[in-house]
Structure 1
Amino acid sequence: MRKSIALLALPALVLGLSACRGQSPAAQSGSGSTDKITIMVGGLDKVIYLPAKLTEQLGYFKDAGITVDLKSEPSGADAETMMLAGQVDGVVGFYDHTVHLQAKGKCVESVVQFADVPGEAEVVATSKAATLSSAKDFAGKKLGVTSPGSSTDMLTQALAVRNGVQKSQYTTVKAGAGATFIAAIDNGGIDAGMTTDPTIAKLVSTGKGKVIIDLRTEEGTKAALGGLYPGASLYMPCDYVAAHKEAIQKLATAFVKTLAFINTHTAAEIAAKMPADYAGSDVKLYEQSINDSKGMFTADGVMPADGPQTVLDVLKESNPDVQKAGSIDLSKTFTTDFVKAAG
C-alpha cells in the first residue's frame, strides 16, 4: 500500500483494525506467542536506529527463536501511522511518540530503550552559518525536518520555543533524510535542519554544513533540553504487548545482546557487521558516523530514570496535543520488565 493511501485511509483503518489488534499476519496465533513480529523502522540506514538491523545481522533474532521482519519508513510519524493502522506490530522510533500518542488517547509503550539522547543534530548550510548560529536565530528561516509530526519536528519546535521563537515565526520544510536532506541544503530549500548520521557526517565532511546544536551527546542534550531526552526505542501498542509477552521477551533479549555488542566493540567492528551498501563508497566516513553517535546507546535497554519527565517537560512547552491533554501518566509510556529479564 502506498504511503499516501495509508495516510488518507488512516481513520477507517484505525477504526477497523484497532478492535481486532492481534489479528494481523504478524500476530495470528493470539496465544501470547507469535511466529513473526513485523517492525517498521524510521529509517533502517540511520545510525540512531542501528540496533535494529545490527541485531538481524548478528543473528540474535534467530538465536532468540523469533522471526522479525524489518521494514523501513524514513519518517517516524509515518511509521507510527502504519502501526496504528495495524499494518505493523511495532516501531523502532523515538520514545516521545508514546507521550504524544497518550495525549491523543492511545496507549503505546517503549519496551526497549536504545538511546538516552536523540542522536540528532541541527545542521546549518555553511553559506547561512553567519546568520544562523543557534536556535535564537530560527525566526524567518526555513528549517528542515523529516516530516511534520516527526520527532525531528517536535525537537525543532522545542528548541525554538526554548529560545524565544514561536513555530509561526519559521517555516517547517519536509526535507526527509539522507540524499533528500542533503539536496535541500544544496539547493537552498532549507537554511538548516534536524538530521542524523550518516547524513551529518556527509554534510560536515564535504563542508556543506555545520553542526550548531548537537543532540548526539549527553552534554549537548542537557544543555539544549535541560536533561536526558531518550530517543530511539522499540515501541508497541499496550494491548499488543500484553497479548504477546513471550515473543516480546525474546525480542527484547535479542536487542539487549546487541546493545552490549555496541558498547563493547569499536565503530569499525560494528560497521563491518552492517550491510555493505550502508557505507556506500566511503567506509571510513560510515565508521566515523557510527563513532560520533555510538555513545548515545544504552548498555542494557533500560529507560534512563529522569528521561521520561524531560520529554514530557519539553513537549508541554511546544506540543499542542500534550498541552491540551493536561495529565500524562508516564508509567504507561514505557516498561523495563522485558529488558531487565533479558539474559
Structure 2
Amino acid sequence: MGALLAPSSGGLAMRLSIALLAVLLISASGAEAQQTVKIGTTPSFVFLPLYVAEQLGYFKAEGITAQFVDFEGGAEVTTAMVGGSIDAGGTMVERPLILAEKGFGAKNLVALENRNPLHVVLRANHPAKEVKDLKGSRLGMTRAGSGTDLSLRALLKDAGLEPDRDVAIIAIGGVSSANAALKAGQVDGFMGGEPATAIAVHQLKLARYFLDPRMGQGPKFLQFMTFPTVQVSDRFIQANPQAAEKIVRAIVKTLKRMREDPEAAVRVGQKLFPTLDVSIIRSIITIEKNTYFPQITEEAVHQCNQAQKQLGVVKGDIAYDKVVATQFKHLWDQ
C-alpha cells in the first residue's frame, strides 16, 4: 500500500519540469518588463537628476534600463536623437523649438530643473551692483553660440548694453580654463554653470555670485530662456508611449526625492564627480534643489520662445503643444 501512495519518479520529474518552466516564465516576463532606453546627455550638474534616477533605482522601478551616451553639448545630443542613435535626450528646452522650425517633431517630456541654470559670477572685488554697471568689463562664456554666450548677450542687451562694444565677451572654455582665466585677470567674471562657478566662489575664493536665475534673480525671460529637460522625438512617443510615460514618472519621483533628501543627490554627485570636494557638491545642490520641479509651463515656453526669437535662434512663435508632450502633463503633479 505504501508503495502505491509513494510518488512515481515520472510524476516527480513532471512536477520539477513544471516548476522550472514557471521560474523561466517569471524570469522572462521580468526581462520583458525592463526596456532599455538610450539617453544622450552631457555629464554635468545640469543633468544630475538623470543620474540620480538611475543610481537610486527610479528608472528601474518603472521598467526602464537607462543606458547613458555622453556628448559634448546639446547640439550633438539633438543630432543623435534626430538620427535615431539615441532614444531620448537630456538637453535644453529650446531644442524642440529649433527642430520644429526645421520640420522635425520632438517634444519636451519633463523638466529636470525649471529655471535657467546659467548664471553670472564676478571677481570678488568687482564693484558692479546692477547689470548696467558691467559696462567696460570683460566677461567670459564657454564658446560662441553656446547657452552661456546667448544668455550673456541677452542679459546685456536687456540692460541697454551692446555686447562686444560695451562689454568684451571672451570664449574661455570649461571649468578649469574658465577659472584659470579669472585667476589670471583675463576676464572680470563669466556666465557659466556648475561646478565652475561654485569652485570660483567657494574653493578658490576668486568670485562672488552676481546674478542667478536659479534664485529667481534677473529678468523673467532670462529665467526661462533655457533650462534642462528630457526630450524625445515624436516617432519615439508614437512607437513607445508607455516608455515615454515611464520616463516621466521616474523623473517626477526623482525630483521629489532630491528636494526632500538632498543628501541622496550629494552622494550621487560624489560618484559622478569624484574629484570634487563634497562641500562644493553640497553647496551646488543646496541652490539647485530650488529648481528641481518637473513642470514645463506655458509661460516658461512662451518666455523661452520670445528670448530665442530675439536672439535669432528661432524665427516664429511656436505653439506650446507642438514642443511639449501635453499628454503627460498630469504626471508632473503626482
TM-score range, shorter chain: 0.7 to 0.9
Q: Residue 289 of structure 1 corresponds to which residue in structure 2?
A: 284
Number of aligned residue pairs: give it: 299
- The residue aligned with 2:173 is 176
Any idea what the Cα deviations from partners look like across 1:85-124, whole Å, max 9, x if unmatched? 4332322122122223334443322111122211221112
Q: Is the 1:144–1:175 Cα contact (8 Å) retained in structure 2? A: yes
Match of 1:203 among 200, 203, 207: 200
Q: Which amino acid aligns with 1:270?
A: A
Residues 126-145 of structure 1: matches in 2 within 5 Å?
126=124, 129-130=126-127, 133-137=129-133, 141-145=137-141
Question: Is the counterpart of residue 244 in structure 1 residue 243 in structure 2?
Answer: no
Name the CA distance, whole Å, in 2 between partners of 1:80 and 1:167.
28
Q: Secondary structure at the match of 1:164?
A: coil
| The one of 109, 112, 115 aligned to 2:113 | 115
Question: Cα gap change, 1:287/1:53 in structure 2, threshold over 3 Å: closer, same or farther?
Answer: same
- The answer (yes or no) to whether the contact 2:252–2:331 under 8 Å persists in 1 is no
User: Which whole-Å CA distance do the structure 2 matches of 1:251 and 1:240 have between them?
Assistant: 12
Amino acid at match of 2:77: A
Q: Which residue of structure 1 lines up, in the alignment, with residue 265 of structure 2?
A: 270
Q: Which moved more, 1:114-123 or 1:148-157?
A: 148-157
Structure 1's unaligned 5+ residue stretches are 1-32
Query: Unaligned stretches of 5+ in structure 2?
Result: 1-32
Please tell me the residue identity of whatever aligns with 2:114: D
In structure 2, the residue corresponding to 1:320 is in which secondary structure? coil
1:330 correspondence with 2:310 = no
What is the DSSP-based 3-state SS (H/G/I as helix, E as strand, rest coil) of the residue aligned with 2:296?
Answer: coil
Structure-2 separation of matches of 1:80 and 1:191: 33
1:118–1:229 CA contact under 8 A, matched in 2: yes
Partners of 1:65 and 1:341 lie apart in 2 by 17
| Residue aligning to 2:150 | 154
Identity %: 22
- CA–CA distance in 2 between the matches of 1:38 and 1:101? 20
Q: How many Å apart are 1:236 and its aligned residue?
A: 2.1
Instruction: State the 1:140 CA deviation.
Output: 5.5
One-letter amino acid matched to 2:323: T
Do the aligned partners of 2:269 and 2:281 also contact (CA within 8 Å) in 1? no
Q: Residue 251 of structure 2 aligns to which amino acid in structure 1? A: F
CA gap 1:80/1:134 in 2 versus in 1, 3 angstroms: farther
Task: Map Cα deviations across residues 222-273 of structure 1 (whole Å, 9 max, x no partner).
Answer: x4537655611112222332222122122222111101111221x3332124
- CA separation in 1, counterparts of 2:132 and 2:269? 38
Q: Secondary structure of the residue that 2:212 maps to in structure 1?
A: strand
For 2:319 and 2:276, the matched residues in 1 are separated by 46
**Which of 281, 298, 302 matches 2:295?**
302
Structure 2 residue identity aligned to 1:194 = M
**Partner of 2:14 in structure 1?**
none
Given that 1:115 and 1:230 are in contact with CA atoms closer than 8 Å, whether structure 2 keeps it comes out as no
Summarize deviations over 1:301-341 as a string: whole Å, max 9, x none: 22124111111222232x2242xx23422321112423524
Match of residue 23 from structure 2: none
CA RMSD of the aligned region, Å?
2.8
